[in-house]
Amino acid sequence: MDVKTSLIVADAVDHKGFPADRTKTGGWVTAALILGIEVCERLSTMGIAVNLVTYLIGTMHLPSSTSANIVSDFMGTSFLLCLLGGFLADSFLGRYKTIAIFTAIQTLGTGALAIATKLPQFRPTTCDHTRLVNNECEQATGFQMGILYLALYLIALGTGGLKSSISGFGTDQFDDKDPKEKTHMAYFFQRFFFFISIGTLMAVTVLVYIQDQVGRSLAYGICSISMFIALLIFLFGTKRYRYKNSQGSPIVHICQVIAASIRKRKLDLPYSVSMLYETNLEESRIHHTDQFHFMDKAAIVEEGDFEEKNFNGVPNPWKLCTVTRVEEVKMMARLLPVWATTIMFWTTYAQMITFSVEQASTMDRSIGSFQIPAGSLTVFFVAAILITLAVYDRLVMPLWKKWKGKPGFTNLQRIAIGLILSILGMAAAALAEKKRLAVAHRQSHPIATLPVSVFILIPQFFLIGAGEAFIYTGQLDFFITQSPKGMKTMSTGLFLTTLSLGFFVSSFLVSVVKSVTGGGGVAGNGEGWLADNINNGRLDCFYGLLCVLSCINVVIFLICAVWYKPRHEKKPMIGKGQGGCGGGMEMIDNKGGLGNEEKC
């Protein structure tokens, strides 16, 4: 009997709803099937995003700033929809169904994009380079852009929906209560990030090359077929997956605490914390903290909070919340200042797949007889990430442990390093663009390729890529370790919204700068810093502005980091406070009132 019990995974079930047998379900085989989806998702999303700006300018004949905003909005929407995917997975569908449904949607989206880029009626008439440079080409019509938007946002919906559940469903395949499987789970996170990098590497090299040299419709068709195959492989493992029951949406729990707090905003807090409502067992409680006192009012017991008048019924969660539930929301609230100050990094990141790719398209990209695709310059992102992670893991961490006795930088320190590297990256981008513009202005007539090497852009790609290695791992660590156990999915979604908002802030800044600097273009041409043709603008000034904003953001981040203090559990006091009468229902007598406080 004990042997049979040891084979059962306590909090997981199989595809039939029976307790999961660890010998027949979960493990690396099922995790590998799930990781296949992630590789294809990265291949599709990044393969489209890093080279989309050249298609919008060269084929759809849109202005550079408009094209940059379309790419930024597409990526921002993809990450923002992670919240929708997470909500559906937690509340209704479960992670397995969410992944399957949204993978199918992304397959449909990439297929639609392949058709939209193949059929001539979905794009304007071809235009030669001279007319394109002089902004004389016919722009895409509203119908043509509508078809493109439909395909792009189907992809964004699919990406957001499945990305929110991939990592969570992968970790569901390992039992964190089993020492051996818990070790495997740690390796899963490392391999998850590795597979993301592999997918991105394939996207910015092989897929971008196919787009430029063979055809975009073929490249996007490959994405659609690969997603479909990955979906079939994923479904093939249905009988071997471990499934975990939904615990309800953390968003709903947060709304309940806020609603209860507002409802009881006029009530006075009791003189003792032990009088607040709590029903969780001692070992699962989160004890009261002194911040955000207005939220504590959600745990005040009053008449009407229970279904029965004698307080013995089930409490209405929109009227009364436990101290633990309130503290979970407080923990999430404490993350928000750090969350807000990391958005700026992803705003600078957005420039690397928009304007920086456009810069590369105007420069000499040849190595002998081979022409590097402009979108493939982002390969230095991936190289920077992999090199930085390797150096940090093999060199920095051991040295830091010997010197400070700690296994590497803290999560906040890693975030700070990432933010500082983004400042250096924007400074390098401004200097490179200043040199590129100087060469462009010396030309007597417009030419397709400026006599300046594209490799002067490497520092900005490498610095931002290295910054991503630090800030991505730092943010993920921070939001997961500093959030409540029941809100890990929510905190991961919160982390991903920083990427989303970074792209949206980029789009907003581009619109504002283009409007404000409309009369400040080169030689008074009235096009401003972000001209329709970047050779006539001052992109270096825009990069300089981002550098200044990033410096201000770092200062604010450091203030927030000093303010933030990790939550430390208080040891319960026997016989009083949370350990004694603070047990919520234990305090309530049979007459519908609070129990005798003096007994505690």
- Per residue in 391-404, pLDDT (tens digit) is 887 888 788 777 87
| SS3 assignment for 366-417 | EECCEECCHHHHHHHHHHHHHHHHHHHHHHHHHHHHHHHCCCCCCHHHHHHH
Per-residue model confidence as pLDDT tens digits over 299-338: 998 888 887 655 566 788 888 998 888 888 888 888 899 9
If asked whether residues 209 and 269 sit together in one domain, one would say no
> pLDDT band for position 582 (50/70/90)?
very low
The domain in which residue 326 lies consists of 250-332+568-587
If asked whether residues 102 and 197 sit together in one domain, one would say yes
Domain-embedded: residue 38? yes
Q: Pick 447 or 139 by higher pLDDT.
A: 139
CATH of the domain at 115: 1.20.1250.20
Strand partners, 371: 366
Cα separation of 292 and 273, whole Å?
A: 14
Backbone phi, psi, residue 197, to 5° = -65, -40
- Last residue in a domain, options 201, 223, 244: 244
If asked whether residues 105 and 72 sit together in one domain, one would say yes
Out of 178-182, 259-263, 324-328, which region has the weakest mean confidence (pLDDT)? 178-182
If asked whether residues 234 and 256 sit together in one domain, one would say no
Domain-embedded: residue 307? yes
Provide the pLDDT for residue 579: 37
Q: Which amino acid is at 398?
A: P
- Averaged pLDDT of the chain: 82
Provide the pLDDT for residue 600: 31
Provide the pLDDT for residue 233: 92
Cα diameter, the chain: 93
508 — alpha (psi -120 to 50), left (phi > 0) or beta?
Answer: alpha
Domain-embedded: residue 183? yes
Domain-embedded: residue 305? yes
Per-residue model confidence as pLDDT tens digits over 512-538: 998 888 754 443 455 688 887 888 889
Domain-embedded: residue 480? no
If asked whether residues 229 and 259 sit together in one domain, one would say no
Backbone phi, psi, residue 314, to 5° = -85, 130
Is the predicted pLDDT of residue 577 greater than 80, yes or no? no
Out of 75-79, 220-224, 489-493, 572-576, which region has the weakest mean confidence (pLDDT)? 572-576
265, 268, 273, 277 alpha-carbon torsion, rounded to 10°: -50
Per-residue model confidence as pLDDT tens digits over 465-492: 999 888 988 887 788 778 776 676 667 7
> pLDDT band for position 587 (50/70/90)?
very low
Pairing between β-strand 370-371 and β-strand 366-367 as defined by DSSP bridges: antiparallel
> pLDDT band for position 133 (50/70/90)?
low
If asked whether residues 265 and 205 sit together in one domain, one would say no
Provide the pLDDT for residue 57: 86
Domain-embedded: residue 114? yes
146, 148, 153, 154 alpha-carbon torsion, rounded to 10°: 110
If asked whether residues 95 and 167 sit together in one domain, one would say yes
Q: What is the pTM of this model?
A: 0.76
Percent of the chain with pLDDT over 70: 86
If asked whether residues 221 and 143 sit together in one domain, one would say yes
Q: At what angle do helices 343-352 and 323-341 cross, to 10 degrees?
A: 40
Provide the pLDDT for residue 134: 61
- Last residue in a domain, options 244, 271, 291: 244
| SS3 assignment for 163-214 | HHHHHHHHHCCCCCCCHHHHHHHHHHHHHHHHHHHHHHHHHHHHHHHHHHHC
Is the predicted pLDDT of residue 122 greater than 70, yes or no? yes
H or E segment and range at residue 254: helix 250-263
Provide the pLDDT for residue 187: 67
Provide the pLDDT for residue 486: 62
Is the predicted pLDDT of residue 455 greater than 60, yes or no? yes
Question: Please, which residues have CB within 8 angstroms of residue 484's CB and are 6 or more apart in sequence?
Answer: 286, 327, 328, 331, 332
Q: Pick 13 or 580 by higher pLDDT.
A: 13
Out of 68-82, 352-366, 471-485, which region has the weakest mean confidence (pLDDT)? 471-485
If asked whether residues 191 and 278 sit together in one domain, one would say no
Per-residue model confidence as pLDDT tens digits over 9-51: 777 888 888 888 878 888 888 888 888 888 888 888 888 888 8
If asked whether residues 163 and 267 sit together in one domain, one would say no
If asked whether residues 268 and 145 sit together in one domain, one would say no
Q: How many CB atoms lie within 10 A of CB 124?
A: 16
- State the total domains in the chain: 2
Domain-embedded: residue 31? yes
What mean pLDDT is predicted for residues 207-231?
91
Cα separation of 340 and 563, whole Å?
A: 14
Could you report how far apart the first and last alpha carbons of the chain are, in Å?
44
> pLDDT band for position 372 (50/70/90)?
confident
Radius of gyration of the chain (CA): 27
Question: Please, which residues have CB within 8 angstroms of residue 152's CB and are 6 or more apart in sequence?
Answer: 48, 70, 74, 109, 113
Which of 531, 366, 362 lies closest to 436 in space, CA to CA?
Answer: 362
Provide the pLDDT for residue 592: 34
If asked whether residues 17 and 166 sit together in one domain, one would say yes
> pLDDT band for position 572 (50/70/90)?
very low
- Last residue in a domain, options 211, 244, 277: 244
Provide the pLDDT for residue 163: 83
Domain-embedded: residue 393? no
Out of 111-120, 175-184, 287-296, 322-331, which region has the weakest mean confidence (pLDDT)? 175-184
